[in-house]
Amino acid sequence: MVEPIQIAVVGSGYVGLVAAVCFAEIGHSVICVDNDEGKVAALQGGNTLIHENHLPALLERYRNTRVRFTTDLGEATRACQAIFVAVGTPQSDTGDADLSYVEAVASEIARSINGYKVIIEKSTVPVYTNEWIRRVIERNGVARDSFDVVSNPEFLREGTAVEDFLHPDRIVVGTDSERASELLDAIYSPLTGGEYYQQPTAIPGCCSRLNPPILLQTSTKSAEIIKHASNAFLALKISFINAVSNLCEAADANVEQVARGIGLDSRIGPKFLRPGIGYGGSCFPKDIAAFRSVAEQMGVDFSLLSEVEKININQKKRFLSKVRSALWTLRGKRLAVLGLAFKGDTDDIRESPAIDLVSMLLAEGCTVIAYDPAAMERAEVKLPRSSQMQYANGIEEAATDADALLILTDWQEFARLDLMQLHTLMRYPIVIDGRNLYDPKQMTENGFTYLSIGRPSAAPLHEAARLGV
Quick one: pLDDT at residue 463? 61
Res 127: pLDDT: 86
Can you tell me whether residue 73 is helix, strand or coil? helix
Domain boundary, last residue among 264, 290, 310: 310
Domain count, the chain: 3
Instruction: Report which DSSP code applies to 197.
Output: G
Asked if residue 214 and residue 85 are part of one domain, the reply reads yes
Q: For residue 339, is it within any domain?
A: yes
Show the domain range for 167: 6-218
Q: Are residues 317 and 306 in the same domain?
A: no
Residues 62, 97 within the same domain: yes
Predicted local confidence at residue 2, as pLDDT: 66
Q: Write the CATH number for 259.
A: 1.10.1040.10
Q: Counting beta carbons within 10 angstroms of the beta carbon of residue 2, is it exposed (0 to 12), middle (13 to 18) or buried (19 or more)? A: middle
Q: 223 in a domain, yes or no?
A: no
Give the count of alpha carbons within 13 A of 274, CB side only. Answer: 13
In Å, what is the CA distance from 107 to each residue of 103, 112, 224? 6, 9, 21
Residues tagged active-site: 283
Q: What angle do CA 291, 123, 214 make, to 5 degrees?
A: 95
Residue 38 neighbours by CB under 8 Å, 6+ apart: none
- Domain shared by 316 and 302, yes or no: no
Q: Examine the domain organization and report whether 420 and 331 are in the same domain.
A: yes
Name the burial class of residue 94, with classes exposed (0-12), middle (13-18) and buried (19+) by CB atoms within 10 angstroms of its CB.
Answer: exposed
With a cut of 50, list the residues of the chain below it in pLDDT.
Answer: none
The whole-angstrom separation of Cα 111 and Cα 137 is 8
Same domain, 285 and 152: no
Boundary-marking domain end, from 160, 192, 218: 218
Residues 173 and 293 in one domain: no
CATH number, domain at 437? 3.40.50.720
| Residue range 129-167, pLDDT digits in tens | 899 999 999 999 999 999 999 999 999 999 999 999 999
Q: Give the integer Cα–Cα distance in Å for 101 and 105.
A: 6
Q: Is 343 in contact with 407 (CB distance < 8 Å)?
A: no
The kind and range of the H/E element at 163 are helix 161-166
pLDDT tens digit string along 321-339?
999 999 999 999 999 999 9
Whether 300 and 329 share a structural domain? no
| Separation of alpha carbons 372 and 339, rounded Å | 5
328 part of a folded domain: yes
Q: SS3 for 334?
A: strand
- Output the pTM of the full model: 0.91
